[in-house]
Amino acid sequence: MRNASENVAGLIAIPDLMGFNGLGQGSVPTARVTQPVGAFLVDSHTRFVVWAPNAEKVELQLRQADKEEQIAMQRNEWGYWSVEIEKTDIEYRYGYCLDDKGPMPDPASRFQPEGTAHLSAVVSTDYPWTDQNWKAPSLKEMIIYELHVGTFTNQSSLEAIIDKLDYLLDLGINAIELLPLSQFSGSRGWGYDGVFPYAVQHSYGGPQALRRLVDACHSKGMAVILDVVYNHLGPEGNCLPCFGPYLHKRYQQGWGDAINFDNKQADHVRSYFIGNALMWLNEYHIDGLRLDAVHSIWDFGATHFLAELTQAVRTLSMQTGHEYILIAESDLNDSKLLLPYAERGFGLDAQWLDDFHHSLHTLATGEKDHYYADFGTLSHLQKAFEHSYVYNGTYSPFREKTFGNSAQHTYFDQFVVYIQNHDQIGNRLGNDRMASLVSKPMLKAIAGTYLLSPYVPMLFMGEEYGETNPFFYFIDYSDDELVEAVRKGRKEEFEGFQKDELEYEDPQDVQTFARSRLSWDLQVDGRAEILDFYKQLIRIRKTHPAFQNVMRTAVQSWIEGDKVLMWLQQAENPKDSMLLCAVAFEEGEWRFQLPGNKRWKRLIDSSYSDSTEQVETEITLSGPHFMAWTSVEE
């Protein structure tokens, strides 16, 4: 069913809004441009399409062994150049010459086998998929596992992840989230500095390796979410500005010029990035996208880029019969991202919830520097349970202003929570993982808190067994001045945090990358116990009926004796069992009655390796401590 709507070029059959059939002359558009770009194998031909509105002449340059050939391309009125050739093998490289300058790689290249500075390769979309009957779990059912391809295994490849899927399956994971795969400069990096958004990073194995991984995940019941970056382009190897106004200087952010979503010729830039999203979902069978830092997407047009992207993905879903999810990263505490179109929202499915992380992190570590200054009490975490946004139209001392709005018209499964992720480890001085910061009892307490919260949980690779190897920020640039600029920028980023005597790690040093790899050493004392505790928590998460209820009314939370946070989750069916959880982060002992007239059976206790399954009405917590119970019939 998935492939029924694919055309011969392997593209989704999106509307040809400008009469672009065969790239002929179109009429004045009545809707926004949605023109596919790139190189496509079509029957016995290969079609090349590139947007270069300011060029007087564009030529396709083909290179095969020692032979080179240049072919003139035809322009339509919107600045799209095209040509078809009879070659259908993929043993040659290609690029574009603009007004006799070049050749340069294709801005919509699907593969850069030799890196960003070299010509592009045509790739086939043919693949013997085995996931025709695949159906991804819903958001409320997901246990997400975020991983970075380069440091997850020693092989640093997409293929090597396949060998770890049985391990993840045994852990209880049913969705993996990959850090960005778009081609970036060099062979090592986080991926947020990609410069060819359509190309799969060559050092990870390229397009076919990604298809094999996705197909393997689906065969084991795991969804695949991909991190994409639509707020900036990387600084090294970026050729897009040579072709057209992909960027403009009206808005500036940490990476330089912003992407042009609302200035002159923005229709074509929007089409480029929306087409990119559709490509990942359709050509690679990706189940969802995590949209990086959407607060840095500058668009003051009447229809925001995110709303248009959501509409395009919903159209794709109707055409393929496959549901896709869009998850935003945002630091704005703005529920507009999640509200439906009818309520003037953008209609995204979910967002990362940093307020929950910050509330939990400060309680666990005691850190209060920089943005953590806005958190640190049990009442902050309780508010995160009740209202999602801790700052929901209230004054933020760190920001020195009133911040955020209400999330009360959203659902619990519209927020993803975590205690660790690539940002919260990699963007802190020292780059310590939680297992290096707190005791084993505290590790268990915080794991229980977020994994059995009403929100969608996300683990960061290795946390489930207490990995202590740091996760540094690393790059592989060839420009010495750029490397120095990155070094300087990283040091400035840490100025708001306590420095003590911690050394700053050089992001360009290959050892910084090597030291960020997972150890996979489960023989270290205590790691097997932590892993088993995670498995128990995930098992409860996946089987207890309370987690099927995502309504705001499903959860009640309160603070017991100033030291213990408790929350009660109700199932959709009142006859089903309720879930009760309690957590204490401070050292000490607290005794209190369990609520209501119900009998409670203990499901899990962080002080014991196995559940006691005893029925009780009064309990004692010795912090740090986490416990959970299920209600039983009288």
Distance CA(585)–CA(443), nearest Å, equals: 10
Amino acid residing at 399: R
- DSSP string of 187-256, one letter each residue: S-S-STT-SEEEEE-GGGTHHHHHHHHHHHHHHTT-EEEEEE--S---SSS--HHHHS--EEEEEEETTE
pLDDT number for residue 48: 96
Distance CA(194)–CA(201), nearest Å, equals: 9
Q: Does residue 19 surpass a pLDDT of 60?
A: no
Pairing assessment for the beta strands 80-85 and 101-104 based on DSSP bridges: unpaired
pLDDT number for residue 428: 86
Could you report the per-residue pLDDT of 277-330, keeping only the tens digit for each?
Answer: 999 999 999 999 999 999 999 999 999 999 999 999 999 999 999 999 999 999
pLDDT number for residue 32: 61
| Residue 494's pLDDT band (cuts 50, 70, 90) | confident
CA dihedral 350, 354, 359, 365 (to 10 degrees): 130
Average pLDDT, the chain: 91
Pairing assessment for the beta strands 415-417 and 350-352 based on DSSP bridges: parallel
Could you report the per-residue pLDDT of 190-222, keeping only the tens digit for each?
Answer: 999 999 999 999 999 999 999 999 999 999 999
More confident residue, 381 or 44: 381
pLDDT number for residue 500: 56
Distance CA(29)–CA(282), nearest Å, equals: 25
Identify the bridge partners of residue 121 per DSSP, sorted by sequence position.
93
Task: Judge whether 593 and 564 are in contact, CB under 8 Å.
Answer: no
**What number is the average pLDDT over the span 433-450?**
97
pLDDT number for residue 2: 33
pLDDT number for residue 91: 77
Tokens representing residue 271 in the block: 């089409």
User: Has 481 been annotated as catalytic?
Assistant: no
pLDDT number for residue 44: 83
Q: Which of 292, 308, 374, 413 is catalytic?
A: 292
Q: Is 386 exposed, middle or buried (0-12, 13-18, 19+ CB in 10 A)?
A: middle
Whole-angstrom CA distances from 508 to 106, 487, 490 are: 27, 8, 12
Closest by alpha carbon to 316, among 64, 12, 548, 632?
12
Q: Does residue 530 surpass a pLDDT of 50?
A: yes
pLDDT number for residue 617: 82
pLDDT number for residue 608: 77
More confident residue, 491 or 325: 325
Whole-angstrom CA distances from 467 to 162, 428, 519 are: 20, 17, 7
More confident residue, 487 or 456: 456
pLDDT number for residue 504: 76
pLDDT number for residue 90: 72
User: Has 329 been annotated as catalytic?
Assistant: yes
- The stretches of 457-582 forming alpha helices (DSSP H) are 480-493, 510-514, 527-543
Task: Select, from the ranges 19-23, 71-75, 610-614, the one with the highest average predicted confidence (pLDDT).
Answer: 71-75
Distance CA(455)–CA(385), nearest Å, equals: 9
**Three-class SS state of 81:** strand
Distance CA(436)–CA(320), nearest Å, equals: 45
User: What are φ and ψ of residue 116, in 5° steps?
Assistant: -70, -25
Distance CA(322)–CA(448), nearest Å, equals: 33
The owner of tokens 């690029």 is 95
Closest by alpha carbon to 185, among 472, 477, 473, 474?
477
Distance CA(462)–CA(471), nearest Å, equals: 10
pLDDT number for residue 615: 81
Identify the bridge partners of residue 328 per DSSP, sorted by sequence position.
291, 351
Could you report the per-residue pLDDT of 337-390, keeping only the tens digit for each?
Answer: 999 988 889 999 999 999 999 999 999 999 999 899 999 999 999 999 999 999
Q: Does residue 106 surpass a pLDDT of 70?
A: yes
Question: How many Cβ atoms sit within 10 Å of the Cβ of residue 124?
Answer: 14
| Residue 33's pLDDT band (cuts 50, 70, 90) | low
- DSSP string of 244-292, one letter each residue: S--EEEEEEETTEEEE-SSSTTHHHHHHHHHHHHHHHHHHS---EEEET
Can you say how many angstroms the Cα of residue 187 is from the centroid of all Cα atoms in its chain? 20
Could you report the per-residue pLDDT of 46-91, keeping only the tens digit for each?
Answer: 999 999 999 999 999 999 888 899 999 999 999 999 999 997 677 7
Could you report the per-residue pLDDT of 560-606, keeping only the tens digit for each?
Answer: 988 999 999 999 999 999 999 999 999 999 898 898 778 899 999 99
Q: Which of 106, 236, 308, 329 is catalytic?
A: 329
| Residue 482's pLDDT band (cuts 50, 70, 90) | very high
Closest by alpha carbon to 298, among 246, 259, 335?
259
Could you report the per-residue pLDDT of 379-431, keeping only the tens digit for each?
Answer: 999 999 999 999 999 999 999 999 999 999 999 999 999 999 999 999 888 88
DSSP 572: S
In this structure, of 116-130, 256-270, 505-519, 604-618, the range with the lowest mean pLDDT score is 604-618
| Residue 27's pLDDT band (cuts 50, 70, 90) | very low
Q: How far apart are the first and last CA of the chain?
A: 49
| Residue 499's pLDDT band (cuts 50, 70, 90) | low
pLDDT number for residue 42: 83
**What number is the average pLDDT over the span 256-260?**
90
